[in-house]
């Protein structure tokens, strides 16, 4: 059985006959679930099961819930989600090339994958392929409703929309691959391409300098500048009209240099815009000629411009003065900052979600005048969520559009409370380790490691991040709405006082700076209702543009320094090492804090 194929279209069809889905960029495959453990079969008939052990493990864990529906066959996509509506194909592709079990296991740790179902072909062994799509979708929903599988698990069901404009806006805002339109009445046709299912690509347009033409295969080669060197990022041959191709070939063969029998090389002179769906780190994906670009000089076609073209600003967001210096000491302009927010959003937004936001704005950049903003200004757009709390109408930053709007306002710091608008109690405990100066950062390292030893003794899983300033911050995630601030204070005060008693020459809980005698301040009072902490991955308003950066515990050594984590480094380290806080919420739900709390109550009584 092979997947039903999509037909390309330039426009989204509209009408009551159609439903719409976001198109994810991953491995299309069929799920066959007959026994306790399922199997993934690629569109070419290859068994992919061994490549995705995290998904198989989860499926096996819910076997008892799903067993009444078996045997099941489903159609879907294997993805690595960077946000709710976008998959990073390069991650899935890397997994597909792996052969070593240990290498796969390590990849699973940093880059977990999921399977998104969008069609059900068999249930309880009964063939559904001749039923209309609307019926198959209904049966698929029944499985998920009955098994109570949450939306964040490695198995998900795709969201379906009736409004074409809405789903297209979602695809643009989240830089998704595109949109799929499906007729509600469509049968499922194995291996066939049909106009009942249409794909509309969310093309990105990248400017390249033409450098080469291969007459044998008809490919043109395009490059961009990195510093003074041209680096090839694409080869393409589709998208031309006959006239465009003939004009270009004639020009290259007339003005270029013949390298051998079939290849002409061209000095930097012609720029073209190439349509693509993404960049895999080396080459543009699905490139095709779009148009000549006579407005751009070849020397201006740079790697940085390519990155911006690959990640366009959503149409709903207007960026004013993109070349405004924000961190002039490190040559960061507003557009660079907006790009950082786009890239970091999947990791930052979960910590802003449903929390009353306190932002610090720097309207003239850093250094410069700054102010705290809690109240949403009168000109806050309708798409931003707000929440009234006492006499303040807070912004609640739940999505990329809201984050980019705040970025355009030059909100550079994002501070959040320890609870959400849907909870009464803290969702995590945070210890703020504040040394007297950045030169005394070694004290924060010392305190963090000693606290980690205490947490481990209590069997509590902890996380660590830089503050983006001169200190470190330690997190213990908690089950939702399980413990009051008064109860968490028992633990935080105990830990801080214990450390001060053990190492009085290094640590203090004295709140007045003048009385701290250059010791590290252990701030347990800050963990309280109404107080805030800098969010993970938020920038700080210092001249170095440092980021409050999540760390792995094995990075907390004597070599650790806050200055190691500016914007560019943080984005690169996520690509290489993944997100140290990725399992934060899941760990919190399993945290056995009640046992610890009862031990301390007994001890203190």
Question: Hey, which bits of 374-529 come out as E strands?
Answer: 385-389, 392-396, 411-416, 428-434, 463-466, 472-477, 507-508, 520-523
Q: Using CA atoms, how far apart are residues 271 and 50, in angstroms rounded to an integer? A: 44
Q: Report the candidate in 42, 24, 31 with the shortest Cα–Cα distance to residue 66.
A: 31
- Judged on CB neighbours under 10 Å (0-12, 13-18, 19+), 124 is exposed
Rounded to 5 degrees, φ, ψ at 380 are -60, 125
Question: Taking the mean position of all CA atoms in its chain, how far away is CA 474?
Answer: 22
Distance CA 224, CA 250 (A): 23
Q: Give the Cβ contact number of residue 202 at 10 Å.
A: 19
Q: Residue 216 CB: number of other CB atoms within 10 A?
A: 9
First to last CA, the chain: 67
Instruction: Answer whether 223's CB lies under 8 Å from 275's CB.
Output: no
Measured between alpha carbons, how far is 499 from 511 in angstroms, rounded to an integer?
Answer: 16
What does 502-514 look like in DSSP terms, one character per residue? H-TTTEE---SGG
Query: Cα torsion at 101, 106, 111, 115 (round to 10°)?
Result: 30
Distance CA 598, CA 601 (A): 5
Would you say 9 and 20 are in contact if contact means Cβ atoms under 8 Å apart? no
Task: For tokens 């927010």, name the residue.
Answer: 341
207-to-2, 66, 154, 273, 500 alpha-carbon distances in Å: 37, 49, 37, 4, 59
Who contacts 343 (Cβ-Cβ below 8 Å, separation ≥6)?
A: 311, 571
Phi and psi at residue 87, in whole multiples of 5°? -110, 145
Phi/psi for 346 (5° steps) reads -60, -25
From CA 111, how far away is CA 69, in angstroms rounded?
30
d(CA 253, CA 33): 57
Are the beta carbons of 265 and 253 closer than 8 angstroms? no
Give me 380's structure tokens: 């806050």
Residue-wise DSSP of 165-180: HHHHHHHHHTT-SEEE
Please check whether residue 32 is in contact with residue 41, taking contact to mean a CB–CB distance below 8 angstroms: yes
DSSP string across 538-569: -B-SSTT-BB--EE-GGG-STT--GGG-BHHH
Helix (H) or strand (E) holding 32: strand 27-33
Is residue 23 annotated as a catalytic residue, yes or no?
yes
Catalytic residue among 2, 23, 124, 446: 23
CA–CA separation, 139 and 131 (whole Å): 11
Which residues carry out catalysis? Answer: 23
């Amino acid at each position: 059985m092979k997947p039903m194929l999509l037909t390309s279209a330039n426009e989204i069809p509209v009408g009551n006959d159609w439903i719409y889905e976001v198109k994810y960029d991953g491995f299309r495959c069929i799920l066959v679930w007959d026994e306790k453990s399922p199997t993934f079969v690629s569109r070419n008939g290859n068994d992919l099961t061994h490549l995705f052990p995290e998904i198989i493990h989860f499926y096996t864990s819910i076997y008892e819930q799903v067993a009444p529906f078996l045997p099941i066959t489903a159609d879907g996509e294997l993805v690595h989600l960077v946000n709710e509506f976008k998959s990073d194909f390069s991650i899935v592709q890397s997994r597909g090339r792996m052969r070593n079990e240990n290498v796969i296991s390590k990849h699973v740790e940093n880059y977990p994958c999921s399977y998104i179902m969008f069609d059900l072909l068999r249930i309880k062994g009964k063939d559904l392929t001749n039923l209309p799509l609307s019926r198959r979708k209904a049966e698929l929903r029944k499985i998920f409703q009955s098994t109570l599988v949450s939306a964040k698990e490695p198995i998900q069901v795709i969201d379906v929309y009736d409004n074409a404009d809405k789903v297209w806006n979602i695809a643009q805002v989240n830089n998704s691959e595109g949109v799929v339109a499906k007729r509600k009445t469509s049968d499922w046709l194995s291996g066939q391409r049909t106009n009942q299912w249409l794909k509309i690509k969310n093309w990105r347009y990248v400017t390249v300098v033409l450098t080469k033409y291969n007459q044998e295969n008809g490919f043109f080669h395009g490059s961009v500048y990195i510093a003074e060197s041209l680096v090839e990022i694409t080869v393409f041959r589709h998208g031309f009209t006959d006239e465009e191709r003939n004009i270009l070939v004639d020009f290259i063969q007339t003005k270029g240099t013949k390298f051998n029998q079939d290849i002409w090389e061209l000095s930097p002179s012609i720029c073209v815009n190439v349509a693509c769906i993404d960049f895999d780190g080396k080459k543009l994906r699905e490139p095709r000629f779009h148009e000549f670009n006579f407005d751009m000089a070849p020397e201006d076609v740079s790697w940085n411009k390519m990155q911006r073209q690959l990640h366009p600003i959503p149409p709903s967001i207007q960026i004013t003065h993109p070349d405004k210096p924000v961190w002039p000491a490190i040559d960061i302009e507003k557009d660079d900052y907006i790009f950082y927010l786009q890239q970091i959003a999947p990791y930052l937004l979960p910590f802003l979600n449903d929390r009353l936001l306190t932002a610090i704005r720097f309207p003239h950049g850093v250094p410069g005048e700054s102010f705290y903003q809690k109240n949403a200004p009168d000109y806050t757009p309708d798409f931003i969520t707000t929440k009234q709390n006492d006499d303040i109408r807070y912004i609640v930053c739940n999505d990329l559009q809201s984050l980019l709007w705040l970025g355009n306002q030059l909100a550079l710091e994002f501070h959040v409370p320890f609870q959400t608008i849907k909870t009464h109690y803290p969702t995590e405990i945070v210890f703020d380790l504040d040394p007297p100066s950045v030169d005394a950062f070694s004290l924060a390292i010392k305190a963090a490691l000693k606290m980690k030893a205490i947490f481990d003794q209590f069997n509590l899983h902890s996380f660590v991040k830089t503050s983006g300033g001169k200190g470190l911050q330690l997190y213990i995630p908690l089950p939702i709405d399980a413990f009051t601030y008064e109860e968490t204070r028992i633990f935080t005060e105990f830990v801080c006082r214990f450390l001060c008693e053990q190492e009085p020459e290094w640590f203090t809980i004295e709140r007045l700076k003048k009385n701290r005698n250059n010791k590290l301040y252990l701030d347990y009072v800050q963990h309280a209702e109404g107080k805030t902490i800098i969010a993970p991955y938020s920038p700080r308003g210092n001249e170095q543009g440092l980021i409050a950066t999540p760390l792995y515990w094995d990075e907390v050594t004597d070599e650790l320094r806050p200055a190691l984590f500016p914007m560019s480094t943080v984005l690169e380290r996520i690509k290489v090492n993944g997100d140290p806080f990725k399992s934060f919420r899941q760990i919190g739900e399993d945290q056995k804090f009640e046992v610890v709390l009862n031990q301390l109550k007994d001890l203190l009584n």
